[in-house]
Amino acid sequence: MTHPPGHLQSNPLPPGIVGALGLGGYQLLAEVGGVGAGRLGRQAFLLIAPDPDPNLPDAGTQVALHHAKVKDESVVSVYKQLAAQLGYWRLSGYRLALEREGLRTNVNLLDPATGAVAARIPAKHPGAMSFSSAGTAAGLLSTLRALPPAGKPPDTQDPELLRQVLLALALQDESTGGAEAAELADRALELSRADRQLDPPAALALARTGGTG
């Protein structure tokens, strides 16, 4: 079905859909391995793209760890780091199992070797009234960083996969913005191609110092 020119002007989308699409100020702060951090006004959240499954219909990008009223801007930086860490673990072999809860999604990080749940990302952030840090963005970030590798390291012979790994590592630094992280990942990728002995952390460290390998 096709619509004539100017159809949306004469038939505007309902306000709820416009809000859901984030046309009023939505920002994507970072995205690695199908895991992103976003914000809309005072809200912050994770965006998770499920693993493709030919036997299931496309479930679309889902929202997790929704924080409705962010008062401290440092929390937004933690969301960026959390997305990078989740994306890095996904690239390293961990699996993300998604469970819908209303309009949001709980995320289980599964160790592929055992099938056990290594960490759980809730659908909603507990907020400032929580007496435990276990379910907060900062607490979850500490939990994820303490996990052991899922298995063998990512295949660094694949340039796109290697760039994603480098981007995830760069974004783990709270002082590094998205654009800077992308530039560092590109530079580190060049250094890795020039010197195959460099592992991703070493290549990124060299890129930060402006080295040439």
The residue type found at 88 is Y
Length of the chain in terms of residues written:
213
The secondary element (H helix, E strand) that includes residue 29 is strand 26-32
Question: How many angstroms separate the CA atoms of 91 and 76, rounded?
Answer: 23
Give yes or no for a contact between 173 and 30, defined as CB atoms under 8 angstroms apart: no
Question: How many angstroms separate the CA atoms of 157 and 193, rounded?
Answer: 9
Q: Which residues pair with 39 in a beta bridge?
A: 27, 44
pLDDT tens for the chain, residues 1 to 213: 455 565 555 655 444 444 444 445 678 888 888 898 988 888 899 989 888 776 666 667 889 999 988 888 888 899 999 999 999 999 888 999 999 888 899 999 998 877 889 999 999 988 654 445 667 899 999 999 999 988 766 677 788 888 888 998 888 888 888 788 889 999 999 999 888 888 888 999 999 988 665
In the block, residue with structure tokens 């996904």: 90
